[in-house]
């Protein structure tokens, strides 16, 4: 699992690649810290290469969203595959995130 | 030395210069005291302003009426603070608050709102001359008076424009224009009263709705944003959500359920009673759907909206809405997307394996 952060103008884009499971969550939590510290930024979580998300992964997404809401940043989840979309539905988080 | 000032006024000006650090300390303490008291009392205001009179302004005042003052502390607006409120009722609430937190010099305080004759309108503001209480500061700060002005946003707008018109040109304003300005003051006074009345009526309505929700008379309450919010405060979905969470011993993440209001409106619900019936009728099958979806996973976090989401899904399916109904539902809560069609398909197939669909 790798996470790379890219800044373009007022956007911070996190590219997730691999399986965001419990084992990967500790490193990913470290990797996404720039997103938590961002101000006046649109945060994009690019999931085009994310194969799987566990509860630990969901918690990381929720933490990013919560921190962004406190700082009036916008969070957009992009390019999630059908399985991950289903996880968002079966946990009830589908209405919480802006998903494209 | 300012050439136009006599010796007495120059002494006062020197006293002012020496007092500036103390005045700044007082300004900060007064503003902090006001902020804290407003927060404690839950009063939201437009602005809190404060300023120490500039040397130029003080000199101007001393030139005009310097002999009226024995010392600097006789000038009561060297430090001025102003609170601008949304509502006229809040001016009185903050006045009562100020009477508690400061010592008021009643002889020099004035309620300009009450100075008008029955047939006159104009500047409206409450001016209190205050001192900090003994326990809140040292003796030196306590001896310095400060002015607290309280007014509404509309009164503030009128006063600011009146000041701008009156002082900008340096020419006396003709009676005709004064009358037009005062006519506007009367209109704004009416608007202020109307805003306060509307706020009071909305608060009364909210209380009545909450009472009806508490008494279970939900059929009498029309469904709208306010009433739906009051209904959700009674936590009608808590039991179902906890039951679903128990499937995987999951943590419940609190989220807003307000995005579901348009869904219930689309279902044709007119009252909270209609919403409550749907929740009661479909709660068991909503739980079965969640058990079917989550039971075979290790997911241990759910949203507090999951119970309501599944209730809506089951309601759509049991009323024959099928895939199209589900697609519309996902579009409503998640924004329109082609992928919602796929989600609707998956949900439909999963639900078909459950007893309520057969």
The span from the CA of A3 to the CA of A7, in Å, is 13
The verdict on domain A2-99 having CATH code 3.40.50.300 is no
Q: Which residue of A has its CA nearest to B295?
A: A90
User: Does B83 reside within a domain?
Assistant: yes
CB atoms under 10 Å from CB of B74, counted, come to 12
- pLDDT above 60 (res B3): no
* H or E element at residue A69: helix A55-70
CB pairs under 8 A between A and B: 70
B306 contacts A92? CB cut-off 8 A: yes
Place of tokens 């020496």: B18
Confidence of residue B121 (pLDDT cuts 50, 70, 90): low
Confidence of residue B252 (pLDDT cuts 50, 70, 90): very high
Q: Which of B136, B164, B192 lies at the terminal end of a domain, its last residue?
A: B164
Count of the separate structural domains present in chain B: 2
pLDDT score recorded for residue B139:
80
The span from the CA of A71 to the CA of B126, in Å, is 37
Q: Looking at the structure, tell me whether residues B37 and B145 fall in a common domain.
A: yes
Mean pLDDT of B99-126: 77
pLDDT in tens, B180-196: 888 898 899 999 999 99
pLDDT score recorded for residue B343:
85
Residues of A in contact with B303 (CB under 8 A): 91-93, 95-96
User: Does B182 reside within a domain?
Assistant: no
In angstroms, the Cα distances linking B257 to B14, B150, B225, B260, B345 are: 63, 39, 11, 6, 24
pLDDT score recorded for residue B122:
63
User: Does B229 reside within a domain?
Assistant: no
Pick the more confident residue, B73 or B118: B73
A54 contacts B309? CB cut-off 8 A: no
| pTM, full prediction | 0.62
The span from the CA of B351 to the CA of B288, in Å, is 9
- Alpha-helical runs (H) found in B106-174: 139-142, 153-168
pLDDT in tens, B52-92: 999 999 998 898 888 888 889 899 999 999 999 999 999 99
Mean pLDDT of B170-187: 82
- pLDDT above 90 (res A17): yes
pLDDT score recorded for residue B168:
60
CB atoms under 10 Å from CB of B213, counted, come to 20
How much is the mean pLDDT over chain A? 91
Owning domain of residue B100: 7-164
Cβ atoms of residues A57 and A80 within 8 Å: no
**Residues B56, B62, B64, B69, CA torsion sign:** positive
The span from the CA of B318 to the CA of B358, in Å, is 10
B346 contacts A95? CB cut-off 8 A: no
Looking at chain B, the whole-number percentage of residues with pLDDT higher than 70 is 94
Domain boundaries, chain A: 2-99
User: Does B174 reside within a domain?
Assistant: no
What CATH number has the domain bearing residue B112? 3.30.460.10
Mean pLDDT of A77-99: 89
The span from the CA of B89 to the CA of B200, in Å, is 10
Residue by residue, DSSP assigns B262-315 as HHHHHTT--BHHHHHHHHHHHHHHHHHHHHHHHTTS---EEETTHHHHHHHHHH
Pick the more confident residue, B9 or B122: B9
């Amino acid at each position: 699992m790798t996470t790379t952060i890219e800044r373009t103008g007022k956007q911070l884009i996190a590219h997730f690649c691999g399986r965001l499971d419990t084992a990967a969550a500790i490193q990913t939590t470290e990797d996404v810290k720039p997103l938590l510290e961002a101000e006046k930024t649109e945060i994009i979580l690019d999931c085009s290469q994310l194969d799987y998300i566990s509860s630990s992964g969901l918690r990381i997404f929720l933490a990013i969203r919560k921190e962004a809401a406190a700082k009036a940043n916008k969070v957009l989840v992009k390019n999630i595959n059908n399985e991950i979309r289903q996880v968002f539905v079966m946990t009830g988080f589908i209405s919480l995130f802006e998903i494209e | 030395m300012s050439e136009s000032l006599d010796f007495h006024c120059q002494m006062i000006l020197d006293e002012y210069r020496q007092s500036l650090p103390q005045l700044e300390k007082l300004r900060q303490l007064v503003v902090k005291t006001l902020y804290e008291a407003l927060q404690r009392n839950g009063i939201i205001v437009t602005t809190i302003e404060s300023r120490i009179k500039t040397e130029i302004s003080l000199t101007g005042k001393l030139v005009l009426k310097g002999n009226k003052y024995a010392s600097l502390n006789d000038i009561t607006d060297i430090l001025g603070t102003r609170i601008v409120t949304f509502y006229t009722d809040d001016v009185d609430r903050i006045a009562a608050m100020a009477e508690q937190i400061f010592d008021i010099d009643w002889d020099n305080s004035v309620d300009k709102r009450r100075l008008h004759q029955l047939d006159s309108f104009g500047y409206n503001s409450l001016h209190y001359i205050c001192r900090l209480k003994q326990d809140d500061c040292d003796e030196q700060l306590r001896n310095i008076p400060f002015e607290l002005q309280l007014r509404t946003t509309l009164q503030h707008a009128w006063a600011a424009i009146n000041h701008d018109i009156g002082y900008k040109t340096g020419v006396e304003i003709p009676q005709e224009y004064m009358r037009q300005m005062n006519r506007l003051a009367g209109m704004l006074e009416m608007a202020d009263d109307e805003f306060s009345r509307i706020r009071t009526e909305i608060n009364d309505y909210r209380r009545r709705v909450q009472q009806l929700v508490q008494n279970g008379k939900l059929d009498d309450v029309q469904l709208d944003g306010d009433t739906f919010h009051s209904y959700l405060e009674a936590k009608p979905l808590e039991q179902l959500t906890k039951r679903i969470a128990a499937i995987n011993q999951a943590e419940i993440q609190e989220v807003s359920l307000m995005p579901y209001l348009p869904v219930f409106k689309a279902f044709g619900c007119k009252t909270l009673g209609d919403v409550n019936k749907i929740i009661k009728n479909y709660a068991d099958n909503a739980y079965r759907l969640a058990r079917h979806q989550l039971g075979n996973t290790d997911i241990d976090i759910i949203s507090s909206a999951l119970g309501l989401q599944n209730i809506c899904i089951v309601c759509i399916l049991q009323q024959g809405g099928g895939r199209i109904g589900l697609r519309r539902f996902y579009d409503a809560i998640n924004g329109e997307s082609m992928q919602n069609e796929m989600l609707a398909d998956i949900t439909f197939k999963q639900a078909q394996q459950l007893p309520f669909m057969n």
